[in-house]
Amino acid sequence: MTPIYLTLASVFLYSAASIIRKKISADDDNLNYMYTVLFQIAGGIAVIFFSIVLGFGNEYIGYFTTITPQMTLKIFIGAILWFSATFTSFKALNSITASKYSIIETLSPLVSIVLALLLLGETFTQQQLFGTLLILVSVFAVVHDKETKLSHFSRGEGIAFLSVLLSGLALVNDKGIYQTLALSPTLAILFILPGLLAILVKPTEIKKIKIIKKNRAIIKQLFIMSMIWGIAAILYYKAIVLSNSISLIVSVGQLSVILTVILGFIFLKETDNWKIKIIASLISVVGLIFMSI
């Protein structure tokens, strides 16, 4: 399968998983910490399973001998950032729509670029500047409230922005990791380790598994979401590795924003301001394409 088809497959899977994530997060806000733990661990298992099925099992051979103390530190930092980003995404989706979150989420590459400028000394092109402006316009369109005139954000929007900041930090941290270590086992670790660390930090949360076990529908949704997300992650990162044009892969990947808005409209009945969301998602995708040029 060519990189472009791998990317398109990951786009569809990621969007489908985002819709399921919204359903899970809306169940009980008090359970979102444990939902995040279970998602991280199950997602990591999915990465291991499907990477082997797809023929990348050789990447696990001798993997741990390639991890230096510096990479170990980066992996632990990445684990903390990714768990925090995932947990806050569940919290945000407890009070805002999946379509609105997907558009706010497009700020993550922008955060990564700004941090790369500050921390890694990378350059910022005119195309990226134009793309940044388009993304900011799209986000403004979905969070703007005619009554408050942006005098304050809703709680869900604030948490969504925090999630975006954390994922942006995580992406910058990940850059050095994936340039050094094999992709599949590293991706699996960055799924599973955050869940394990979260349990060590708050072991009392394990008691909530008894509550979760009573809701078979949620367990099923959580399992399906984790499997889908794991497959999507493998396909997307493999597309980047195999492609001669990373910018093309990143650009095509942004179609998930539009698809999430459409799926949210169809399956979650997120009909409020749907015209604005569609327009904003199109603008954000164009902006992300310019940022990846």
Number of other residues whose CB lies within 10 A of the CB of residue 266: 10
Question: What pLDDT sits at residue 229?
Answer: 95
Task: Please give the Cα distance from 236 to 135 (Å, whole number).
Answer: 22
What angle, rounded to 10 degrees, do the helices at 183-201 and 69-93 form?
A: 70
Q: Is the pLDDT of residue 76 over 90?
A: yes
Question: What pLDDT sits at residue 19?
Answer: 94
Domain interval for residue 49? 3-292
pLDDT (mean) for 43-51: 94
Mean pLDDT of the chain: 87
Is the dihedral angle over the CA atoms 260, 264, 266, 267 positive or is it negative?
positive
Coil, helix or strand at residue 120? helix
**What does the DSSP assignment read for 107-118?**
HHHHHHHHHIII
Integer CA distances (angstroms), 21 to 38, 64, 107, 233, in order: 12, 32, 19, 15
pLDDT digits (tens, 9 = 90+) for 93-116: 998 999 889 989 888 877 877 777
Question: What pLDDT sits at residue 106?
Answer: 84
User: Is 234 in contact with 1 (CB distance < 8 Å)?
Assistant: no
Q: In Å, how far from its chain's centre is CA 77?
A: 17
Question: What pLDDT sits at residue 108?
Answer: 80
Question: What pLDDT sits at residue 222?
Answer: 95
Number of other residues whose CB lies within 10 A of the CB of residue 152: 10
Question: What pLDDT sits at residue 22?
Answer: 93
Coil, helix or strand at residue 143? helix
Question: What pLDDT sits at residue 159?
Answer: 94
162 or 126, higher pLDDT: 162
Question: What pLDDT sits at residue 275?
Answer: 85
pLDDT (mean) for 192-209: 94
Domain count, the chain: 1
Q: Is the pLDDT of residue 136 over 80?
A: yes
Question: What pLDDT sits at residue 93?
Answer: 93
Tell which phi-psi region holds residue 144, choosing left (phi > 0), alpha (psi between -120 and 50) or beta. Answer: beta
Q: Is the pLDDT of residue 261 over 70?
A: yes
Between vectors from CA 104 to CA 10 and to CA 172, what angle results, nearest 5°?
65
pLDDT digits (tens, 9 = 90+) for 243-255: 766 666 666 777 8
Residue 206: pLDDT band (50, 70, 90) is very high
208 or 138, higher pLDDT: 208
Residue 290: pLDDT band (50, 70, 90) is confident
Task: Please give the Cα distance from 37 to 32 (Å, whole number).
Answer: 9
Integer CA distances (angstroms), 232 to 133, 236, 265, in order: 28, 6, 22
Q: Is the pLDDT of residue 174 over 60?
A: yes
129 or 281, higher pLDDT: 281
pLDDT (mean) for 43-48: 96
Residue reference for tokens 């008894």 = 210
Q: Is the pLDDT of residue 146 over 60?
A: no
Question: What pLDDT sits at residue 176?
Answer: 78
Question: What pLDDT sits at residue 147?
Answer: 52
For 179, phi then psi, to 5°, come to: -75, -15
Between vectors from CA 42 to CA 36 and to CA 45, what angle results, nearest 5°?
145
Integer CA distances (angstroms), 83 to 14, 137, 166, 171, 271, in order: 18, 29, 9, 13, 30
